[in-house]
């Protein structure tokens, strides 16, 4: 957290994923998801925003999860989704408190993104669910993030941005 205080821009694109039904989600799963996906990014954003404001500016970009831009129910990943959805409150709070001192924050919620960790069966299933028939490439999400960090976030301060190619039903 102390290292975040020296940054002019901070990106938190981290967070473990858990796919379990609500019934199968254990108390320790809730704690781990809340800690890694909400509390830790919140602490980093809070420390960074305070320091950035003392230097008259900075940018904070947090990454949410697929379809976590608003409150909704999930059958297989409630603990993960709840923690990622909470990040919207963090970026809106940073914008509300620090915009007048030059600090901007945004939450980027990618949809299905192709990665090297996907086995062929999973990749095929996710491609079929994607609005355009294939998952987003990591470079496409990176370009949105770079636009936000290079100044787009100043106009979109406090925004929750879907980068999911129109994914509205799963």
Is the pLDDT at 114 greater than 90? The verdict is no
Q: How far apart are CA 84 and CA 130, in angstroms?
A: 20
DSSP H or E run through 108 = strand 103-110
Global pTM value: 0.91
Is the pLDDT at 4 greater than 80? The verdict is yes
Would you state the pLDDT for residue 170? 56
Would you state the pLDDT for residue 129? 84
Is the pLDDT at 158 greater than 90? The verdict is yes
Is the pLDDT at 169 greater than 70? The verdict is no
More confident call, 64 vs 67: 64
The pLDDT tens digits for 129-157 are: 888 888 889 999 999 999 999 999 999 99
Q: How far apart are CA 141 and CA 115, in angstroms?
A: 12
Task: Give me 41's structure tokens.
Answer: 């990014």
Range 28-35 average pLDDT = 97
Range 83-104 average pLDDT = 98
Range 112-124 average pLDDT = 88
Would you state the pLDDT for residue 116? 87
Place 108 in a pLDDT band, splitting at 50, 70 and 90: very high
- The number of C-alpha atoms within 13 Å of 58 and in the hemisphere containing its C-beta is 25
Per DSSP, the three-state class of 24 is coil
Angle of CA points 14, 43, 32, to nearest 5°: 55
């Amino acid at each position: 957290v102390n290292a975040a205080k020296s940054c002019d821009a901070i990106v938190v694109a981290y967070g473990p994923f858990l796919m379990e039904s609500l019934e199968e989600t254990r108390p320790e799963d809730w704690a781990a998801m809340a800690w890694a996906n909400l509390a830790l990014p919140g602490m980093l954003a809070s420390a960074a925003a305070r320091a950035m404001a003392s230097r008259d500016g900075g940018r904070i970009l947090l990454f949410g999860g697929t379809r976590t831009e608003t409150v909704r129910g999930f059958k297989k990943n409630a603990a993960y989704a709840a923690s990622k959805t909470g990040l919207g409150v963090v970026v809106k709070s940073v914008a509300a408190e620090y915009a007048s001192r030059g600090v901007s924050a945004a939450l980027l919620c990618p949809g299905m993104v192709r990665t090297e960790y996907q086995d062929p069966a999973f990749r095929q299933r996710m491609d079929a669910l994607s609005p355009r028939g294939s998952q987003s490439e990591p470079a496409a999400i990176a370009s949105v993030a770079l636009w936000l960090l290079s100044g787009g976030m100043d106009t979109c301060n406090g925004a929750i941005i879907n980068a999911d190619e129109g994914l509205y039903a799963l």
